[in-house]
Structure 1
């Protein structure tokens, strides 16, 4: 069942998230900016759902670790941190009814009542540590957190994933390269704004693409496998490219994006809206903007 003292040490992480003062300050500004990337709005959740299915289509799977036989067999215990709306877990828990799934996120945007019996969600801040025993899970997973975790937080999260994963179990991290190839001037200007805002919060947006090197520094880790899949944004990328374009446009034209990104770029909201409308769509017809998605998976070794 793992080390009980280690469990007690990390138990503090399951707690309600503190409320922040409403006084405007640089700290408050950064909190609002973080809310932009952790949005609980319906539109944001809809985009999360759609992005899940885009990634599954791109990789032709929900995960790359060789764990499916055990999931089908049953009794497998799976943890997803930073689970958001829980789309990945909802998909898996319905497919593998004899295994058990757990999701953790700082904001309770996941379903509270209507969910499979083999799925449990927990509101907690994963950067405080995971309140689970050592060697508890057969499969641990984190995806799409490159705009959220600082390098130090990534180190903590990865070490915690290793700690709570059973020897012989699998650890998988997914994300995308946060830079583009073949982009035009309009897309480049708009897409670089979130990257700039991240740097102000000490977020290294390029770290996710080279996370295998950080994995290699952890104890009890086997070979780190890397899988990359790329797509072209827009009509030159076939059906999946058009769907990704629609998803990107929904993000860039959201109310919070219009306000936050126009300020970051240094233009008026009206100028920003003009750029992310017909001008951007026309540019994407002429370009082949490549976005690369990446997964890393590894197996925990015996101590």
Structure 2
């Protein structure tokens, strides 16, 4: 299966990378962390965040035992799109799981894994779903979008979902995955951290708990049928065993990643942030805390 002809392409050793001519990203470096200023994304865009996202990917896969909820195994040569592909890890794993598929990842930056990609059936393209997807109507059998609550303004979600639907074939599936920002039940420290997150996200129009609204967002699109929404409560902390320890590590890494920009933009006292950061660990253990992850699938008629 060929890649799309309307972009200037360069080939890696096996797969393809499609480079779109764009202006240089507007970024800022705070305490050694890189943040994009030209997109709404509220987390860093650097190697530390790449490592955290890869870690989070493997953690979620370990928890639910799969990379996808939608049933696509019956499709002979599926066309697959990952919107906001991040590190590209999901794309490469799906390419291995479905060797007859063409798996395409789109993000505002080409992932580092593309530099040494061996999978001939995988491709990456630079793009921003907020500006529209660079694909024709009815192209993909399966469109996947995960962990973009921190990247898409709340008022853009209806338009983004229509764009996902546009590029999905009739009979194809759309799958959305969102992990809530809150670790519940909320203690004093957890409430403070959630408050900071919500304050900063509000400055960019982001709703970090958008996962709770996925059912309503999909229900507003009558062209989508067989809508199903699930949630998994994932343990956070050593009380939850190895998986709980790993998810706690992921959350703490995310909090550490936003500290510099919260200090800069919200005038949060660094010592106060550190005290809250440490106190949450104790709260998670005492309360047997969990993170809720939402999965939503829908079929285009």
Same fold (TM over 0.5): yes
Q: 1:19 to 1:156 in 2, by over 3 A?
A: same
Q: 1:188 to 1:263 in 2, by over 3 A?
A: farther
Matches within 5 A, 1:241-256: 241-254=244-257
Tell me how far apart the structure 2 counterparts of residues 118 and 20 of structure 1 sit (CA, whole Å).
28
8 A Cα contact 2:137 2:168, kept in partner:
yes
Is the counterpart of residue 105 in structure 1 residue 112 in structure 2? no
Gaps of 5+ in 2: 1-5, 8-18, 29-34
- C-alpha displacement at 1:41, in angstroms? 1.5
Out of 72, 79, 82, the residue aligned to residue 81 of structure 2 is 79
Determine the structure 2 residue equivalent to 1:62: 67
- C-alpha displacement at 1:30, in angstroms? 8.7
Out of 161, 166, 175, the residue aligned to residue 164 of structure 2 is 161
Query: RMSD across aligned C-alpha pairs, in angstroms?
Result: 2.6
Tell me how far apart the structure 1 counterparts of residues 36 and 261 of structure 2 sit (CA, whole Å).
11
Give the SS at the match of 1:209. Answer: helix
Is the counterpart of residue 193 in structure 1 residue 196 in structure 2? yes
> In terms of mean alpha carbon deviation, does 208-217 or 225-234 score higher?
208-217
Across the two proteins, how many residue pairs are aligned to each other?
278
Determine the structure 1 residue equivalent to 2:14: none
Matches within 5 A, 1:1-303: 15-19=20-24, 31=37, 34=40, 36-37=42-43, 39-70=44-75, 74-115=76-117, 116-254=119-257, 257-263=258-264, 266-277=267-278, 279-301=279-301
TM-score (norm 1): 0.83
For residues 237-268 of structure 1, the C-alpha deviation after alignment (integer angstroms, 9 at most, x for no partner) is: 222111111111222224xx222234566442
Tell me how far apart the structure 1 counterparts of residues 231 and 95 of structure 2 sit (CA, whole Å).
25
Give the SS at the match of 1:133. Answer: coil
Q: Stretches of 4+ moved more than 4 A in 1?
A: 20-23, 32-36, 263-266
Gaps of 5+ in 1: 1-6, 9-13, 24-28
Tell me how far apart the structure 2 counterparts of residues 194 and 264 of structure 1 sit (CA, whole Å).
12
TM-score (norm 2): 0.83
Tell me how far apart the structure 2 counterparts of residues 285 and 215 of structure 1 sit (CA, whole Å).
35
Q: 1:253 to 1:145 in 2, by over 3 A?
A: same
8 A Cα contact 1:54 1:244, kept in partner:
yes
Give the SS at the match of 1:69. Answer: coil
Tell me how far apart the structure 1 counterparts of residues 23 and 235 of structure 2 sit (CA, whole Å).
41
For residues 52-84 of structure 1, the C-alpha deviation after alignment (integer angstroms, 9 at most, x for no partner) is: 1121122221111011232xxx41110011111
Give the SS at the match of 2:105. Answer: strand
